[in-house]
Structure 1
């Protein structure tokens, strides 16, 4: 990583409570998206960074980018910022997934593809690809909790979590995590 990167988690999507939410494209309250966009705009002004934001293509992230684009930002969409693909679990209630299926994932956390979707190791590879391609200018992004956690592992130089118990709690909605090129790590803000 060459320059600092700040990744905000998207605002809370409508209808996510109790559901497995990965690639399912849930909407976000426009006021919450605008509020987060305003915070990002303030940070960019304060730091005198370029008016560029990169978001996941999923509505809960992209809506924030659309607000920023209305205010003169360049809005780039990058699919590598998407949340983990939960396959057939995506959009289902967690209670309906089943203990055996959840156990299979948690017992082989890095390599098992939950619901036939994508493994944590594959998510981390996407994060690594994104982080390695950063340019020399500081950048703001809007992504997802799983992506942010995976990027933290990558930035710390870790290969992958050995168990689900090692995976950190989700970053709160609309919270920011900074990745610094000089430290190789990340910190929540």
Structure 2
């Protein structure tokens, strides 16, 4: 079984802005980036899942037409009160307190990285039970969590995994487990 984790293309947002649950549109480079992603994917019939946020659902529609299901568990981390604020707008001490234990400390009226990890992995495990080739169009935090799960990377080390906008991760599931075939393709 092949699984392709696809990160949305570049969002239309100012650099340094906290966004997770915010339903942002995509940058003007969308068609160019989406066409590049399309060229990476093999010509297979996929079971397709996407985050319901438009930056993912637009890419899923571009790549697969209307043959995809959305799943709330595929949303990015919930920044709560920090949604759409820049890091400069958030008090330095508040940000430092959260960063000291981001794994377990929820963002104000949001969620912790562990909560994101747990819901992402639960969604992934549900989605691969069919044994059919699967494509998941989602966000960087979700892909990072799934990659950590697939590779046995401890959650505290997973935050350092980089997944670029409009890039693809290829996993293969066989009788021996999950194998990473490519990252940031």
**TM > 0.5:** yes
User: Which band: TM-score by shorter chain?
Assistant: 0.7 to 0.9
For each residue in 1:123-182, what CA deviation from the matched residue of structure 2 results, as whole angstroms up to 9, or x when unmatched?
A: 1111211221112011112111111111111212345217xxx62154111011122324
- Tell me if structure 1 keeps the 8 A contact 2:173–2:179: yes
Count the aligned residue pairs. Answer: 179
- Tell me if structure 2 keeps the 8 A contact 1:12–1:28: yes
TM-score scaled by structure 2?
Answer: 0.84
Query: In the aligned structure 2, how far is the partner of 1:176 from the partner of 1:35?
Result: 12
For each residue in 1:64-98, what CA deviation from the matched residue of structure 2 results, as whole angstroms up to 9, or x when unmatched?
A: 1222354xx51211111110001000110111112
Structure-2 change in CA distance of 1:35 and 1:108 (3 Å): closer
Q: Secondary structure at the match of 2:145?
A: helix
2:142 to 138, 147, 171: 147
- Tell me if structure 2 keeps the 8 A contact 1:34–1:67: no
1:33-48 aligned at under 5 Å gives the runs 33=31, 35-36=33-34, 39-40=37-38, 43-45=41-43
* Residue of structure 1 in register with 2:178 after alignment: 184
* Residue of structure 2 in register with 1:77 after alignment: 70
Query: Root-mean-square deviation (CA), in Å?
Result: 2.3
5+ residue gaps, structure 1: none
TM-score scaled by structure 1?
Answer: 0.83
